[in-house]
Chain A
């Protein structure tokens, strides 16, 4: 099949602007939950879009019409990995400010209190990197299994298992039995 007609420069710019407008909040949310504070989340978001801009034409060509959100999140994921490697640190144990916890929730009735929300967020930060990322992509960004699989470079099946285990482990942590030595041992025993 012949390659699709390449976009002109103005078309490419318009298309990138659209991608930026549509996914700025996704990238920022991912970055925020990944690094735990606004300052570093801004840095990470900026670097993600600068890098995306540089490689956009090729990504568009190679995407074969598939959505580019997983590609964008993958850039953020790789940059975040470098961020931790360079600074030799893990994400902060608690999400930086109370704004996240006290922000108005549309699902307020489902959440019993701030304390529980705080526990969940702290629990998410205690998860291994891949599980934490999968949960952020699913619940903060609303990505489906296929999108998460593409962003993490895994198969759909492996992603489904990853999500299942992440939720189970988090349930254990929040329930008070998931962060101790036995839980860590259980996690290591899992294939």
Chain B
């Protein structure tokens, strides 16, 4: 058998393998979750940055608009945690209570002198 023939057989033996369908679904779900985690981290960083007065220059314009960038960030952050609260909550009332508590905690953290 010539080397060319052998290579053709090798190519046939080592044909590409399709990943199983259920694995692809699992993998894609994992990647999306990772992306969401990264987004959450970015939001947390924005929140921390807002507590440093040196970072207030850019959102100052937003503050002038009305509610202010801080409030917007509170909403953003609280909304980001909504899914986790939903998973933890026993019912709708419990979920609403958790959301209000989370909003208050988040706002407190942003206020001057907050932890």
A residues with a Cβ closer than 8 A to B are: 13, 20, 24-26, 28-29, 32-33, 38, 41-42, 45-46, 49-50, 53, 100, 103, 105, 107-108, 110-111, 116-117, 120-121, 124, 135-136, 139-141, 167, 170-171, 174
**Chain A residues, CB < 8 A from B31:** 20, 49-50, 53
Number of A-B residue pairs, CB cutoff 8 Å, is: 91
Quick check: B15 and A103 within 8 Å, CB to CB? yes
Q: Does B87 contact A (CB under 8 A)?
A: no
Quick check: A110 and B12 within 8 Å, CB to CB? yes
- Cα A133 to Cα B5 in complex, Å, equals 21
Identify which of B13, B34, B35 contacts A120 (C-beta below 8 A): B13
Q: Does B112 contact A (CB under 8 A)?
A: no
Quick check: A105 and B12 within 8 Å, CB to CB? yes
- Cα A163 to Cα B49 in complex, Å, equals 53
Identify which of A25, A26, A38, A170 contacts B10 (C-beta below 8 A): A170
Q: Does B17 contact A (CB under 8 A)?
A: yes
Quick check: A33 and B14 within 8 Å, CB to CB? yes
Decide: A135 near B9, CB < 8 A? Known: A42-B23, A45-B19, A53-B34.
no
Quick check: B14 and A139 within 8 Å, CB to CB? yes
Interface residues contributed by chain B, number (CB under 8 Å): 26
B residues with a Cβ closer than 8 A to A are: 1, 3, 5-20, 23-24, 26-27, 30-31, 34-35
- Cα A170 to Cα B1 in complex, Å, equals 13
Quick check: A42 and B19 within 8 Å, CB to CB? yes
Quick check: B13 and A117 within 8 Å, CB to CB? yes
Q: How far is the CB of B38 from chain A (nearest CB, A)?
A: 8
- Cα A159 to Cα B11 in complex, Å, equals 18
